[in-house]
Amino acid sequence: MGYEFHTIEKKWQKYWAKNQTFKVAINYEKPKFYVLDMFPYPSGSGLHVGHPLGYIASDIYSRFKRHKGFNVLHPMGYDAYGLPAEQYAIQTGTHPEVTTEKNIIRYREQLDNIGFSFDWTREIRTSDPAYYKWTQWTFIKLFGSWYNNTTDKAESLESLIDVFLESGNSKIDAASGDVETFSASEWKRMSEKQQQEILMSYRLAFLSETMVNWCAELGTVLANDEVKEGLSERGGYPVEKKHMKQWSLRITAYSQRLLDGLNKVDWPESLKEMQRNWIGRSEGASVLFDIHDSKNNIEVFTTRPDTIFGATFMVLAPEHDLISEITSSDKLEAVEKYQLWAKHRSERERMTEVKNVSGEFTGSYAINPLTNTKIPIWIADYVLSGYGTGAIMAVPGHDSRDFAFARHFNLPITQVVVNLGEEPGDTAIWDDSYDTKEGLMINSGFINDMSVNKAITSVISKIEEMGIGKGTINFRLRDAIFSRQRYWGEPFPIYYKDDMPYPLSEDQLPLELPKVESYLPTSEGKPPLANAKNWVTKDGYPLETNTMPGFAGSSGYYLRFMDPENKNEYFSKKANDYWKDVDLYIGGDEHAAGHLIYSRFWNKFLFDINRVCEDEPYRKLINQGKIQGRSNFVYRIQGTNKFASFGLKNDYETTALHVDINIVNNDILNTEEFVNWRPEFKDAEFILEDGKYICGHDIEKMSKSKHNVQNPDSLIEKYGADTLRLYEMFLGPLEQDKPWDTNGIEGVFRFLRKLWRLYFDEIDTIIVTSEKANDNELKSLHKAIKKVTSDIERFSFNTGVSAFMICVNELNDLNCHKKEILEPLAILISPYAPHIAEEIWQSLGNNESISEEHYPIHDDKLLVENNFEYPVSFNGKLRFKLALPINMPKDEVEKAAINAEEAKKWLDGKTIKKIIVVPNRIINIVVG
């Protein structure tokens, strides 16, 4: 008998489900609180112990907030579109929907076993037509909107057309592609197709020919954040740059707002910094350089306009439009060869060969507008076509890349900035350029002797005056490529007429994903949807065959949770006005440059079109750390089937082999199970130490091949969900990465049994009495209430667990079984260990779930001590302790300290120079 967690946990999980304990609805009587987890992709391997870490934390917080009187929205769903299910479909022909459904059932079972307080009536799946209808709906809205830089928000395309009809596009300041200026009458004379082509340059969801990240292995393009070090994030396949016509979202229109919004959200600084870097704002100037003997000119972007006098050559990206026009005939062959070479270089090659300088002279010269000297124009792939204008003025004296290039090709290097107090140097003997912004200008005409910062503003005014440039701001952020050549994703609500895309009307949504025979691209290389029969509108127009990327469905899912069953709208205004935004969002930081940017963009767009009331979706965000695996090893003596224990392995020539952590307990191998683990170990022999086989261990990523995957189910089977919940929290700070190690779980399990024994005797009879509690018992309880409450509020869940342990240890020592103490204690612990808390609550004679009880509040009066044990230090070193009445006046404390028996030894023969007394803290006596 005793703490029968199996029975208890099943019982309460059923109770919560049956009574819909955690179902929430709008309730104006209570303040709202929205706690969200990053919803999972339901993979085939199920949950491992790393997944629930954040879910447990958010569950504790949700339950706590509920106890505190909040109306808590705590939903869960599935990011159900994903590559693994589709790859599996390609291999086996199983529809991804079938695989996904199966995995979801498994996930749900595992989640239920942990006892989460999710409102499951709100479950959503991104692959459900009832859900993706609204993903498609938002896409149509984006398609029908443009970004007005003057009002700094998205507006409907109709307003743009009205302006076109009235005055053409010359007065429009929009975030757009390249558009020629036209007048109202020119607009009116255009064909529908011409008009549509122009509108496409303004749409926030637009089709364009762009340089994309093409992954041949996956047969699809990828967004920038899906490429890591030149390889696909999923699968690690090579990625190359390719020109393709693709759907994109004009997220760059929101660059500045995405940057500014970071200042008002409560997110980890590191995550904000990552987003700031990803957005990459830089201030500088664009300057036009004339080309010698040509009408053309080239615009460059620089963040150091002050160094323009040191610009001794110009470099264009190999893809730059003007190259063919300006290249002299004798250089043409070499230039084209270089362009071809650059084009065929993979992203990975380009990145790994950064140190190798390459380039080609075009034979043409530009005119430096401030020095009026001829400077050679080169092409090189260290200049990127996608950033700035794809052209730079090279200042080798003050830019390390330009310096390396100049050295390699013997181009002149001029110094234009000199560090304060230093003499100008001979650039011919420099090892590197002088890049810092500190110093004074030299060799620079009218800006000589100015500081760098002063020179920057002066040059900008000068070029503006000359009409050849202006101060500009550049962002590194690129528009998000939104189409994928895959099957398992949201279809675009788009059809083609006369080769131009048109949106479906809202009443035709959702456009459901059709059945296909094959999940592979067609023989002509079209996406899998081209395999679908009748993939046309009812009028016979062909439908788009690309599908949306993974981040489409996750960009606005938090909004749908507010009103998940709404058939007429994404969500009602009423629901959005009540739930507003996510108060607490918990998830991993791997989404920093992906989901968390797209989602903010999505939300800001919906804010602009008056669909949502908050312009930032996630008020507070916490990144839970990753749980690393802890592998165990056995050491096989080479050429034998003998295994030496860890301490003896160095006596032999051994090979370390990963061993399944499930047959190892506290690093001790279960040799019987090991022998049965695999056929090749059937005849294994062991060289033991102290009669045991000790395994080695190491911290690695959790993976099947390392046999170190810990799934929660087996731990729940052995110790119960409440132990798992407490243990995952006890492991360490939520935000920190930490190795998984079951070695400590026994302690938490012991604690729960100790807790149980405060309430029940050996035969599970309740032994709680109605006796009045004494001061010590009250103090112990209230100390715990104070500590646990403040710990939850600052998301310090690990120290909260120790506070429970301290309290239970104390009550155990006090032999306390009093209701006055133990009833509040049950509520106190219920967010962490809800099953045992419910069981205790019921045994105490309550009929309702503990989850709605008011959380106990500590009483400071009960925590007041009569004495404080002062640590007494001499010259900062602790020598003895002295108990004195609390709040004793300073001078009396001083006297007491000096006159204390133990003080004599330390004062002997010395003079007291100073005494520091911090009331109820420390006493420090300075002697000399």
Partner RNA sequence: GCUCGAGUGGUGGAAUUGGUAGACACGUUGGACUUAAAAUCCAAUGGGCAUUGCGCCCGUGCGGGUUCAAGUCCCGCCUCGAGUACCA
Residues 248-277 binding RNA (CB under 7 A) are 269-270, 273-274, 277
Choose the stretch contacting RNA; rule: CB under 7 A; options: 211-219, 447-455, 492-500, 875-883: 875-883
Contacts of 782 (CB under 8 A, 6+ apart): 858, 859, 862, 863
Residue 427 has which token pair? 């650039």
Burial of 195 (0-12, 13-18, 19+ CB in 10 A): middle
- Nearest-approach distance from CB 567 to RNA, in angstroms: 39
Q: Which residues pair with 497 in a beta bridge?
A: 500
Q: d(Cα 504, Cα 102) in Å, to the nearest integer? A: 32
Q: d(Cα 833, Cα 56) in Å, to the nearest integer? A: 10
Q: Is 378 in the site for RNA (CB under 7 A)?
A: no
Query: Residue 915 — φ and ψ, nearest 5°?
Result: -125, 125
Q: Is the dihedral of CA 693, 697, 703, 706 positive or negative?
A: negative
Query: Based on CB atoms, which residue is closest to RNA, 864 or 878?
Result: 878
Q: Which residues pair with 871 in a beta bridge?
A: 881
- Nearest-approach distance from CB 611 to RNA, in angstroms: 30
Query: Based on CB atoms, which residue is closest to RNA, 273 or 438?
Result: 273
Of 4, 685, 737, 891, the one binding RNA by CB under 7 A: 737
- Nearest-approach distance from CB 65 to RNA, in angstroms: 19
- Nearest-approach distance from CB 787 to RNA, in angstroms: 6
Q: Is 881 in the site for RNA (CB under 7 A)?
A: yes
Of 82, 388, 491, 527, the one binding RNA by CB under 7 A: 388
- Nearest-approach distance from CB 626 to RNA, in angstroms: 8
Of 412, 514, 732, 919, the one binding RNA by CB under 7 A: 732
Query: Based on CB atoms, which residue is closest to RNA, 744 or 889?
Result: 744
C-alpha dist (Å) from residue 789 to 65, 622, 751, 794:
11, 18, 19, 9
Q: Is 278 in the site for RNA (CB under 7 A)?
A: yes
Contacts of 385 (CB under 8 A, 6+ apart): 211, 317, 318, 319, 320
Q: Is 360 in the site for RNA (CB under 7 A)?
A: no
Residue 731 has which token pair? 């492991």
- Nearest-approach distance from CB 556 to RNA, in angstroms: 23
- Nearest-approach distance from CB 294 to RNA, in angstroms: 22
Q: Is 184 in the site for RNA (CB under 7 A)?
A: no
For RNA, the binding residues in 451-490 under the rule CB under 7 A are 474, 476
For RNA, the binding residues in 754-773 under the rule CB under 7 A are 754
Q: Is 779 in the site for RNA (CB under 7 A)?
A: no
- Nearest-approach distance from CB 32 to RNA, in angstroms: 26
Of 171, 295, 772, 914, the one binding RNA by CB under 7 A: 914
- Most distant CA pair in the chain: distance in Å? 106
Of 335, 748, 792, 893, the one binding RNA by CB under 7 A: 748
Query: Based on CB atoms, which residue is closest to RNA, 424 or 744?
Result: 744
Query: Residue 786 — φ and ψ, nearest 5°?
Result: -60, -50
Q: d(Cα 64, Cα 800) in Å, to the nearest integer? A: 13
Helices 721-730 and 96-114 sit at what angle, rounded to 10 degrees? 90
Q: d(Cα 526, Cα 518) in Å, to the nearest integer? A: 12
Of 331, 348, 658, 879, the one binding RNA by CB under 7 A: 879
Residue 188 has which token pair? 């009116």
Q: Is 751 in the site for RNA (CB under 7 A)?
A: yes
Q: How far apart are the first and last CA of the chain?
A: 66
Query: Based on CB atoms, which residue is closest to RNA, 116 or 434?
Result: 434
The CA angle 780-72-115, to the nearest 5 degrees, is 70
Q: Is 351 in the site for RNA (CB under 7 A)?
A: yes
Residues binding RNA: number (CB under 7 A)? 92
Query: Based on CB atoms, which residue is closest to RNA, 202 or 719?
Result: 719
Query: Based on CB atoms, which residue is closest to RNA, 456 or 552?
Result: 456
Query: Based on CB atoms, which residue is closest to RNA, 273 or 464?
Result: 273
The CA angle 618-621-627, to the nearest 5 degrees, is 140
- Nearest-approach distance from CB 322 to RNA, in angstroms: 14
Of 195, 224, 346, 846, the one binding RNA by CB under 7 A: 224
Q: Is 880 in the site for RNA (CB under 7 A)?
A: yes
The CA angle 414-420-424, to the nearest 5 degrees, is 30
3-state secondary structure at position 492: coil
Between the CA atoms of 596, 601, 606 and 612, what dihedral angle is there, to the nearest 10 degrees?
40
Among 183, 189, 182, 237, residue whose Cα is nearest residue 347: 237
Among 33, 20, 119, 116, residue whose Cα is nearest residue 68: 33
C-alpha dist (Å) from residue 367 to 307, 326, 377, 471, 679:
15, 13, 10, 20, 78
Of 744, 845, 885, 889, the one binding RNA by CB under 7 A: 744
For RNA, the binding residues in 790-849 under the rule CB under 7 A are 790-791, 794, 796, 798-799, 801-802, 805-806, 809, 812-813
For RNA, the binding residues in 583-602 under the rule CB under 7 A are 589-590, 592-593
- Nearest-approach distance from CB 873 to RNA, in angstroms: 7
Query: Based on CB atoms, which residue is closest to RNA, 182 or 880?
Result: 880
For RNA, the binding residues in 403-422 under the rule CB under 7 A are none
Cis-peptide, bond into residue 510, ω within 30° of zero: yes
Q: Is 787 in the site for RNA (CB under 7 A)?
A: yes
Choose the stretch contacting RNA; rule: CB under 7 A; options: 30-38, 97-105, 379-387, 456-464: 379-387
- Nearest-approach distance from CB 400 to RNA, in angstroms: 8
Q: Is 887 in the site for RNA (CB under 7 A)?
A: no
For RNA, the binding residues in 280-339 under the rule CB under 7 A are 280, 282, 284, 301-304, 317
- The DSSP letter of residue 626 is P
Q: d(Cα 808, Cα 831) in Å, to the nearest integer? A: 16
HSE on the CB side for 418, CA within 13 Å?
17
Number of Cβ atoms within 10 Å of the Cβ of 667: 18
Number of Cβ atoms within 10 Å of the Cβ of 111: 19
For RNA, the binding residues in 666-725 under the rule CB under 7 A are 666
Choose the stretch contacting RNA; rule: CB under 7 A; options: 384-392, 406-414, 531-539, 824-832: 384-392
Query: Based on CB atoms, which residue is closest to RNA, 283 or 685?
Result: 283
Number of Cβ atoms within 10 Å of the Cβ of 788: 28
3-state secondary structure at position 871: strand
- Nearest-approach distance from CB 224 to RNA, in angstroms: 6
Choose the stretch contacting RNA; rule: CB under 7 A; options: 201-209, 636-644, 747-755, 840-848: 747-755
- Nearest-approach distance from CB 283 to RNA, in angstroms: 9
Choose the stretch contacting RNA; rule: CB under 7 A; options: 132-140, 510-518, 598-606, 916-924: 916-924
